[in-house]
Amino acid sequence: MTSAMFYTKQLRADLLKDLLRDHLIFFAATVILGLFFVPFLRKIKAGQSIREDGPQSHLKKAGTPSMGGFMFIIAITVGGLILSIPAMRDGDFSFLFVLIFALAFAAIGFLDDYQKLKKKQNLGLTAKQKFLVQLVIAVVFVLLLRLFGYVTPNLYIPFVNTYLKLPEPVYFVFAAFVIVAEVNGANLTDGADGLAAGVTIPIAITCALIVAFLATGKDLSGVLLFSVALAGGLLGFLVFNFNPAKVFMGDTGAQFLGGAVAALAFMLDMPLILIPMAIIYLLEALSDVIQVVYFKATHGKRFFKMAPLHHHFELSGWSEKKIFFVFTLVSAVFCAIAYYSVKSRYLI
């Protein structure tokens, strides 16, 4: 993939071919890794413990290997670092920024997964422990992006094509909140076969299209590469994670996804694009908050049959396959809306 980001109409066909080629590379790499990694997880008995208070239909999944997120994480990391060498030689380290940030959250997820496997129950790190570590990582990341000039405190507002100038401290608080919310939203979404991967693929494709066809002239080839790698890796992961899942991504993979999506939005200096683009993450997180608040306010009544949102639909009679396809379609539609909401920013 070229590191020069000045695309003309004549080059777009060639660019799409390059994007498709790289997408297939990461897809194939993840599938090949999965052929070896899934049996390995079974061998070491890295089985998932299922929440007893979750949908009863999930109890049959007990023992399904977890931590399968390593499949696409390894493919993206190794393959991406190799393919990003030309861009890094030209001084574009955007791939590295996104990767390190996503890996930092994947490390939190791994600690959580390890604790679950060690204790043989679906309980890992405490909520307070996760929140504090996530907050520290988020603040450090935003400070680094500000230092290297990737973000500004001028908050771009999609649709209306204007900026809201925020004081630096306010921006950092806002950014940290968005990142932590995004990561936890992704984690909550990973509760049905294929769901987290399915709804994230349109997000990755949208980020790639924004860089390739809107943000031309900006030195963001690393962001483009990571977006394509993420889409390809997740599609490869779905070969094993689609219902009935042969492997789960675990908190390792889910937190990697949340960190990656948040990082991509901030690298584009458009965090508010996450509202339409990551609509499923947002709805899953909000459903959980609404459920807790309503339960406490009404002394035991529930707003949803079960939270997060996909469990409500499961208990309403939806199959996991239906949830996957409907939620993924919703994600794709809102990603298309997100793409068009920022087109005006790049019009010359």
**pLDDT tens per residue, range 47-93:** 666 555 556 555 566 778 888 999 999 999 999 999 999 889 888 89
**Largest alpha-carbon pair distance within the chain?**
63
Q: Using one digit for the tens of pLDDT, what is the confidence trace for 186-217? A: 999 998 999 999 999 999 999 999 998 887 76
Task: Give a yes or no: residue 1 inside a domain.
Answer: no
Residue 2 located in a structural domain: no
Neighbours of 289 (CB within 10 A): 12
Does the predicted TM-score (pTM) go above 0.75?
yes
- 125 located within any domain: yes
Dihedral (Cα; 88, 91, 95, 99), 10-degree rounding: 90
C-alpha 256/C-alpha 314 separation (Å) is 25
Q: Which two tokens stand for residue 98?
A: 């996104």
Q: What pLDDT shows up at residue 58?
A: 59
State the residue range of the domain holding 92.
9-346
Q: Is residue 46 part of a domain?
A: yes
Q: How many domains does the chain have?
A: 1
pLDDT-derived band at 6, boundaries 50, 70, 90: very low
The rounded distance, in Å, linking the Cα atoms of 7 and 18 is 13
Q: Is residue 140 part of a domain?
A: yes
Look at residue 2 in the predicted model and tell me its pLDDT: 45
Helix (H) or strand (E) holding 155: strand 154-157
**Count of all residues that appear for the chain in the document:** 348
Tokens matching residue 228 = 């394509």
List pLDDT tens digits, range 89-113.
888 899 999 999 999 999 999 988 8
pLDDT at 118: 73
